[in-house]
Structure 1
Amino acid sequence: MRSLGLVVGTKDGIARIALGPHVECSKCGACLAALDNKARTIEAVNEAGAKIGQRVEIEIKPSQAVATAFLIFVLPLVAAIGAGYLGLGVGEAFGVMPDYVAIIFGIAGFVGSMLILRFVDRRYAKRMPVVVRIAEESLEGGD
C-alpha cells in the first residue's frame, strides 16, 4: 500500500511523516485507532533522502498493515480476557473474591500486553514503512 505524506522531521535516516486520512487507509484498519479526521504521524525509513517540508510517497506492505492491526487491537484484548479467566481460577482456588482477582489479572494482562507491544515495536523497527520517492510538485497542489 502506498500513500502520500508530508515530512515533518528527520533524524538518523528516519523521517517523521504526517499522513492525512484517505479512502485507501480504511481498507486495512491500521489507522482506525484514532477515530477522527486529523493527520497521523508515522516514522519511515528515509531511503529517498527526503527533507522537512517535502511531500513523499511511502510504502507499507499489506502484510505489515494486517500484522500491525492485529497486534494493536487483538493482542491486548486476548491478553486481558485470558488473564481475567486465569484470575478467576486463582481467586476460586485460594478462596479470595474471584471477581476482584479476575479484574486485577485482566488489567495486568492488558498492561503487560502493551509493554510487550512496546518491546516488539522497538525490536522490529526494521519493518517500518519506507519512503520510496519524493513526490512531484504537481501532486502537492492536486493539479
Structure 2
Amino acid sequence: MEEIGIVKSTTGAFAKVSVPRKSVCEGCTAGTCKPDEQSMEIDAVNKAGAKAGQKVRVVIKSYTYLKGSMLVYGIPAIALIAGAVLGKEIFSHQFKNIDPDILSAIFGFGLFLIAFLGIKIWSLTAEKKTETKPVIEEILE
C-alpha cells in the first residue's frame, strides 16, 4: 500500500509524514499514526533521507497491513464465538442454576474484551519495531 504525503519533521532515522486520511483508518489500532479530521501523521522509517517540507512516497508492507487487519477484526470475532460456545456447552454444566444463553453471552463478551486488551498490549510493543513501520521509499518533490 502506498501513500503520498509531506514530511513534517525528521528525528534520526525516522520522519513524521502527513498523509490524507482514509476511511480504512477508522478502526485501526496499530498506533502508528495520529489521525485528525483531514490528515494523519505517520511515523515512518526515513530510508530516502527526506527533509521537512518534501513530498514523499510512503510504502506500507501489505503483510503488515493484513496482519493488522486480522488482529483487529479476526481475533476478536473468533474469541467471541469461542467464548459463546464455551459458555453454553462447557460452563452450563458447571452452573446449572444459570440459563445457558446468559452464560454464553457472558463468556462470549468476556473473551471478546480479553482479545481486545491483548491486541492493545501487542500494538504498544509493535509500534516500537521498525519492521512494522511504514518506509519512505522516494522523494517526489
The residue aligned with 1:25 is none
Unpaired runs of 5+ residues, structure 2, are: 28-36
TM-score, with structure 1 as normaliser: 0.67
Of 82, 99, 107, 2:109 maps to 107
Distance 1:33 1:109 in 2: 25
2:35 counterpart of 1:43: no
1:42, distance to aligned residue in structure 2 (A): 3.3
Task: Determine if contact 1:90/1:98 at 8 Å carries over to the other structure.
Answer: no
Of 124, 136, 141, 1:131 maps to 136
Aligned residues: 127
The residue aligned with 1:84 is 84
1:17, distance to aligned residue in structure 2 (A): 3.1
The residue aligned with 1:27 is none
Q: CA 1:17–1:77 in 2, change beyond 3 Å: closer, same or farther?
A: farther
1:62, distance to aligned residue in structure 2 (A): 1.8
1:108, distance to aligned residue in structure 2 (A): 1.8
TM-score, with structure 2 as normaliser: 0.68
Describe how 1:55-74 pairs up with structure 2 within 5 A.
55-74=55-74
Distance 1:66 1:88 in 2: 32
Q: Report Cα offsets for 1:50-102 as digits up to 9, x if no partner.
A: 45544322111222222222122111111111112112224411212222222
Unpaired runs of 5+ residues, structure 1, are: 23-30, 137-143
Task: Determine if contact 2:6/2:55 at 8 Å carries over to the other structure.
Answer: yes
Distance 2:61 2:40 in 1: 18
The residue aligned with 1:34 is 26
Task: Determine if contact 1:91/1:99 at 8 Å carries over to the other structure.
Answer: no
Task: Determine if contact 2:87/2:103 at 8 Å carries over to the other structure.
Answer: yes
Equivalent position amino acid for 2:99 in 1: M
The residue aligned with 1:119 is 121
Q: CA 1:20–1:106 in 2, change beyond 3 Å: closer, same or farther?
A: same
Task: Determine if contact 1:6/1:18 at 8 Å carries over to the other structure.
Answer: yes
1:11, distance to aligned residue in structure 2 (A): 5.4
Name the SS for the 1:32 alignment partner. helix
2:11 counterpart of 1:6: no
1:10, distance to aligned residue in structure 2 (A): 5.3
